[in-house]
Each structure stands twice: as C-alpha cells, then as structure tokens.
Chain A
Amino acid sequence: MNKVIGAIAVCFGLFCQSLLAAVAEYHVQLKDHLFFPSQITIPANQKVKLVIYNQDNTPEEFDSFSLNRDKVIFANNKATIFIGPLQPGEYDFFGEYNPNTARGTVIVEHQKQKAADAN
C-alpha cells in the first residue's frame, strides 16, 4: 500500500513539475523577409516557446521540416510556436513564401552551466 501511495506521489510530483516548469521564451523578428536573429540557440531536452513577430506588410509561413513545424504569421502580427524537447544539433527553418531570404537555424546544445559543472 505504501509503495502505491509513494508511486502516486512521485507521479503527481513529476506532473506538477512539468506543469509548473517555466517554458523559456525566444523572440524572433521578421523584417524585409529576413529573420532576426537568424540563429537561435536553445537548451537540449527542453521545450521552448518561439515568439515570431512579422513586421512586414505581407504574411509569411514559418516552416521547418526537421522541427516538423508549419505556422502562418499574418502581416504585422505575431505567432507562437512550441518546439522541443530536442537532441543537440542544428534545425533549419525558413519562410515558405520567401524561402531564399527568410532562413534561419535553431541550434540546440547542452546548457553551459552543466558543461561547467562537468569540468
């Protein structure tokens, strides 16, 4: 019986932790069909929130095959996309309506704090 209660408590704790854990926000501007910054570095194995502001007078579609994301951002508007948890690596994204200019990369790497601790 105690084991069952313990297991439920652990599950509840993990559930609450995931609920309470603050999701880090990253902001990207889209201007003249270019992403600023074009490289976003995020921590590995964590879900993050990407807020994209379209400052152009035309709509754009944020698209990424490796991230499996696809979202229209209306002219002079913003859009929010959740990405991750991801393995370390580079994940390209682009604007579907202007793929030659609107390009960027999400760089996923282990947090520096952990690397410092390891040293």
Chain B
Amino acid sequence: MTEKDARTTVDLTRDLTRRRFLQGSALAGFSAFLAACSTNGGSAAPTAAGSAVANIPTPPPASATPQASPTPVPSPTGPLHWAQWPAYIDLTGKAGDEGVYAPGSSPTLEAFKAKYKLDVDYQEKIEANEDFYATIQPQLQGGLPTGWDLITVTDWLAAKIISKGWAEKIDQGNVPNCVANLRDALKNQVWDPGQDYHYPWQSGMAGIGYNKTTLAKNGKGEPKSLADLWALPADKMTFLTEKRDSFGLGLLKLGKTADPTLTTDADLQAVHDDIKPLVDKGLRFAGNEYLQDFASKKVWAAMAWSGDLASSGSADDVWVAPAEGSLVFTDNMIIPKGAANKYTAELMMNFVYDPKIAGNIANYVYYVSPVKGAEDVLKELNKDAPLDQALLDLLFPPADVIAKQHNFQFLSDELEAKMNELYADLAGV
C-alpha cells in the first residue's frame, strides 16, 4: 500500500481522531468483566490493560431525540433481519452438528417466533467485520436502509458505526432484561456509556486452535504457544482475516505487548516481517471459514476464536490460550440506521437477555455470555453431565489466562492505516 492509500484510511476515520482522548476504563472494564466470569476459577489477577491512550470513538452528541420518551407500545413487525457470525447461537439437530444455521434449527429463534408470532430472517452473513462493513457502509453513508434490523459486530466496528450516527437509538423501555441483566463489567464503554446504541452479544478470545489427531498423525506436537504455531507447516495453517487479531497475536508472539497505546509502526512492521516467510510457504488468511478447513482437515492448526471449535468443530479440535497471551473482544448487537423493524430488534435484544435464553445460547456457542445469571442456567442445564474443564475454561477463563489477556481493538488511525497496508501485502492484495 502506498502513502496515498494509507492517507485514505486515515481520512476514513478522521471523525474518530477528533474524539480521541485519554481513557482507560474501557480496557480495565474488559479485564474486570472477564475476571468476573472466573469466579469459580480463583481470584482475578490484574491484567495487562492499564490506563492508556486509545482511539476510542464516542457516540454522537445527544440529538434532539428525547431520552426514552414514553411512546405508545408499537406492535412487532417482521420478519426480523439479523446478520450474524456463523455458529453463534444455539443450534440443534443436523445444524447443531454441522455448525451451520438452517431455518428451524435454533430453539431460541423458534421460541422468539412463537412468542411474537413473526418470522426471523437469521443469516450467518458475517465472517469478518471489514468485509461485512463494506456491504452496509455505502447504504449507511447514503442514508439508506441496510436491509438489516440487527447486526452483530466487534467492539471497534460497533464504536465506529455508533460514532458516525449510523445506529438507531435503543428505547430502554423496550429492553428491561438488558437493563437489568447486563454484566456490570461491560457497562460504561466510552464509546456508548449509556447503552444507547448497543448491547453485547458474546465475548471471546483469539488464540490457537488445532486438531490433535491430524497433528499426531503427522508427527507434530500440539502447539501451546504462538512460537509453536509459527513452527508448524505454513500451508497447513490459517491466520485470521480480522487484522487486529492476526497482528495482535503476532505482537505477542514476538514478546511485545499488544496494546494500541504502546504499539508502534515498527512493531507492526516486525510482525509483518515475521509472518511474511509463512505466507511464502503457503499460509492463508481466513475468517470463520476456518471451520470448514478444520472439517476438511485442510488445516492442522490456526489462529482461532475461543468457542468456535468447541461448538462447531469435532471432538479432536482444541482451542488453547497461547502461552504468550490471548486477545479479548466483545461482539455487540446494534440496530443499523433505517432498520425497518426496530421495535422487533429491541424485542430480540430483550429476549436474549433473559438468563434462561442466554444460558441456552452459552450452552451451545461456548463464548462468554454478557448476561447475569446465564452461568447458573448453564450449570443447571449440565448438572447431569458436567462440562469438562476445557470447556469451562472457555466460558469462565481461569485467572492465569485472564492475566495474559490483551485488548487490541481500538487502534489509532495511523496505526490502523499501517496495519491495513502491511496486511494487504501479506494477503497478496
């Protein structure tokens, strides 16, 4: 990428620059949240995220819209169009085994449909934040509806969409469950402190996934660290198209900290130079489609998101937090501007914040639920056959894992531009 391209990227997010300011609470909140999840795993350790300067966009200034004014109760309309990541809700039967949604396969969605007597057009359309953003950005920019009523996007993109004023304001009166049950640690995000525009869907970690049988068959040991991962045959691996994750883990592999406020262009360049030889030997980049590669045994190991392999992979697929550390993220529900069924989207948010429903979802997706009480429901669901420790570690990360978690979400414009440029070179585009 040339200087000009880099400039483009910088300009793209220039709105965010103006609003950049000192903050630390969001990062600290993150760690605290994950610590809170590990109540059964021992005491929470301090995390790497301290006070820091980061590029965190803020919501648009309060508009003329009055705050949660008492509106007449609208009637739900449908179908609700929901864009979601693959295998990110409870699925049963064949869909559950394959980790691919098919209409009728999700008890949560079926219960919602029955309760409100309307249809849900649930589509697993998101494999990478940027690719999905490219499909809705032109409409949002032009003030047109995106066709979606609810989208699930990761922190940095959620913050970007909200800061541009492209999210519908949530009527808190319609989401009492969310107000009551959102875990405290996830509240007060700088980019949307009052939950006016978002509620978290699930949180998770980026780390190492591998298939132990394939590795054993080929005489390779199981990677426990990122250095181990780098040493495996490159053409049997995928890294993530989600650049923040690939570069973040790359930083940790080099023994550098993955912290948007400390990382420099030179650090990112070092990561690029470290990954480039792997690309020359056949490394590929993948979004959620690494699940298919795992299924076809095309990849032996990959940078992967916690929960994915446990919920959708085979019994031999394992996810581990690398010895060097892992990255944390939260995916958030947002109602894009111009959504045709805003009220229904709010009903859905409210619905999935019922601890019973949230427990059911967590019991399938194995990500960290943002809903208070989901944990108890989950344990109750599995009381006859308790989940094994590896799974519990994904849902309630142990203290030593939490201690080495990093948040590499909110990059400065300059850093993001540099990362985009380096990634384009790695990805061959």
Q: Do A and B come from one complex?
A: no
Which residues of B line the A interface, CB within 8 A? none
